[in-house]
Structure 1
Amino acid sequence: MTEKIRIKDIAMRAGVSVGTVDRVLHERPNVSESARKKVEEALKEMNYQPNMYASALAYNRSYTFYVLIPKHDQLAYWEEIEEGVQTAVNALRDFHIAAHIEYYKRFDEGSFEEVTDKCLQNNPDGFVIVPTDIEVTRKFTDKLHGIGTPFVLLDSYMPDLRPLAFFGQNSFSSGYFAARMLMLIANQEKEIVLMKITKNGQMMSKQQDNREVGFRHYMRDHYPSIEIITLEMPFEATRAEYDELLENFFAQHPHIHQCITLGSRAHIMGDFLLRTNRRDVQIMGYDMVGKNAECLRLGSVSFLIAQHAYQQGYFCVNALFRAIVLKKKVEPVNYMPIELLTKENVDFYRREQL
């Protein structure tokens, strides 16, 4: 067992006082340059490895993080992120970590700016950000860089914003993978439908845009003759409105047998297919939303791709803790696994306990 190195031992080796060593170890002021160099040389010679956890506890200060996510209507993906955030806070309670979740309206520049300005007034130590439009987000992250406040990106990776870290799937690879899996059962089709959930003609996230790029890249390279028909479904429509849109679509495209959606609402079509007894259409979708899982079990959805949202929320808070409190380097890009769920394995899918 390696012998514990005491501050007293370091002071004797460096020829300085115990108080000087303590100030150097905790990066406090009032240390001469010559004394600092003596202590640093002694630390190197003695191969001193500080106990960062003990130091952080001894410092006895509190830390405040803000988690900025879009407003949502009990969508399981975001709920699991929130649960992961809370689990991380509970695990780090001895270090006095607080993480406040704030919501902005997606596609609303004013809402994002209002929420971020309010958060900045409280001088937080770090942020977890689900980015909105890149230029709108950049205005905020430029402010954070200017005041030296670190931030972690979640859901959508925008490297130009220079985050401390990113947690989420590789969206391009995820879309490419989704296409490859879909074509295991759709390779004889002449046309497939790409269902998009949109608001004011826009996709719900940059992540879904990038998935579509990966999806179309695979299709262009491997199945260029298959026609991809786009079906746009408004985000805030009622069930009756969705039913009408889908009835009209299938009346116009009676030969469609395969559908893919790059977001978490595969259940909109899946539920419609079950209620109208259309058993010849299969769907590929995303996320372990309860309604999606039920459609998967009943057969109207063939595949779901899981995103590990719970772990994403946990790891984002933990990355801020490691960087800010423990002063450790964190991995800048952290891609989550791309997992394929079917009705045969959906009941065995479990959130990893952290």
Structure 2
Amino acid sequence: MGKTYRIKDIAEMSGVSTGTVDRILHNRGKVSEEAQKKVEKVLKEIDYHPNLIARSLALKKNYHFITLIPSFAKGEYWDKLCEGIDKAEQELFSYNVEVERMCFNQYDKSSFDELIPRIEKADCQGVVIATQFHDSVVKLASRLDQLQIPYILIDAFIENTNCVAYYGTNSYDSGYIAGRLLYEQINPTENIAIFRFIRKGEMQVTQVMKREEGFRNYLAEKNYDGRIYSVQLHADEPEKNISILNTFLEEHKEVNAGIIFNSRAHLLGKYFRDKGEKFRLIGYDVIDPNITCLNDGSITHLIAQRPEVQGFNCIRALFRHLVLKEKVEQINYMPIDILMKENIKYYNNYI
């Protein structure tokens, strides 16, 4: 076991008073910038970590976090993210951390809005917010600011909020990369399709809009001269979707490449596979049905964003901010993983 450093030891090594060290360690009272830097330098050198159990018992405080994410079925993208949340909660159980899960319908903005009053009235110390609906998230963030409740954003970063941290990919860059992946499979005049699932109350979510912006900008930079068709599908009407796809492909027989900016690529992959059509399709997220389509060739590439790591890190970030009083980096971009049939078997969740 490493050496135990007392406040007195840290003060002597830093050349400051014990009172200054105490204020920095417990985030109470003001200290000079020079003193702050001296103490932080020593803390880094000695790899200082507070005695978490002692601190938690001393405070005799419970920490109630709320996660606000889309509802999901087993094996779906948000289920993967919740695996990370569950793992973090298990690790922090000894420190009186409890996570309450609130879920909304990601295809219905009103279901998100209905949860805002519940969060306002909840006795919670921190919130994790999936940023599906931009305006609603901004409204909730403003209210949490007023209540002085810290919050973490996941899925897509939203500017002009006071979030403690964001965990997720750079959505624009993710779409830009997708543009390159598809462009390299087509000729510059070939027509393509963007597939979307229609949402109630708001046509697109923040992340999807940013991905599409990056995608279109890549093609524009390459002087792409084909036409981009938009195909609107319905979240809960599979039979209607088949009719929509049949009609679209009958009217546009030349289109045999496209993209969908969410985890539902497998629905399209299965459609094209069942019809025996060779369609170059790019999608997002490593869930089992998408992996099946990747392996059978009905999806050419998947872009992944490590949801388990996002879920784990967002809970840990609230813990670090509230309990350890550590400074948390605000923007934490995840790697943008490009997966193909040839490398998918080596991919793991990294937690």
Deviation at 1:203, TM superposition (A): 4.2
Deviation at 1:351, TM superposition (A): 0.9
Instruction: Give the TM-score taking structure 2 as reference length.
Output: 0.85
Contact 2:167 2:331 in 1 (8 A): yes
Instruction: Give the TM-score taking structure 1 as reference length.
Output: 0.85
| Structure-1 separation of matches of 2:286 and 2:345 | 11
| Structure-2 separation of matches of 1:23 and 1:352 | 36
| Structure-2 separation of matches of 1:298 and 1:8 | 64
Over 3 Å counting, the alpha-carbon distance change for 1:302 and 1:201 in structure 2 is: farther
Question: How many residues get paired?
Answer: 338
Over 3 Å counting, the alpha-carbon distance change for 1:5 and 1:82 in structure 2 is: closer
Contact 1:263 1:285 in 2 (8 A): yes
Deviation at 1:229, TM superposition (A): 1.3
| Structure-2 separation of matches of 1:9 and 1:217 | 56
**Is 2:315 the partner of 1:295?**
no
Map Cα deviations across residues 26-56 of structure 1 (whole Å, 9 max, x no partner).
8599x9x9xx99xx99x96xx6776424453
| Structure-2 separation of matches of 1:300 and 1:110 | 35
Over 3 Å counting, the alpha-carbon distance change for 1:328 and 1:197 in structure 2 is: same
The answer for the alignment partner of 2:122 in structure 1 is 122
The answer for the alignment partner of 1:256 in structure 2 is 255
Map Cα deviations across residues 317-341 of structure 1 (whole Å, 9 max, x no partner).
1111111110000110011111111
Contact 2:304 2:337 in 1 (8 A): yes
Deviation at 1:349, TM superposition (A): 1.2
- State how 1:195-274 maps to structure 2 within 5 Å: 195-200=195-200, 202-238=202-238, 240-274=239-273
Secondary structure of the residue aligned to 1:185 is: coil
The answer for the alignment partner of 2:324 in structure 1 is 326
| Structure-1 separation of matches of 2:10 and 2:268 | 68
| Structure-1 separation of matches of 2:308 and 2:242 | 32
Name the Cα RMSD after superposition.
Answer: 3.3
| Structure-2 separation of matches of 1:175 and 1:112 | 25
| Structure-2 separation of matches of 1:261 and 1:247 | 17
| Structure-2 separation of matches of 1:27 and 1:335 | 28
Moved more, 215-224 or 81-90: 215-224
Contact 2:280 2:300 in 1 (8 A): yes
Contact 1:7 1:21 in 2 (8 A): no
1:284 to 272, 282, 285: 282
Over 3 Å counting, the alpha-carbon distance change for 1:260 and 1:332 in structure 2 is: same
- State how 1:309-320 maps to structure 2 within 5 Å: 309-320=307-318
Name the % identity: 29
Amino acid at match of 1:212: E
| Structure-2 separation of matches of 1:142 and 1:120 | 11
The answer for the alignment partner of 2:15 in structure 1 is none
The answer for the alignment partner of 1:78 in structure 2 is 78
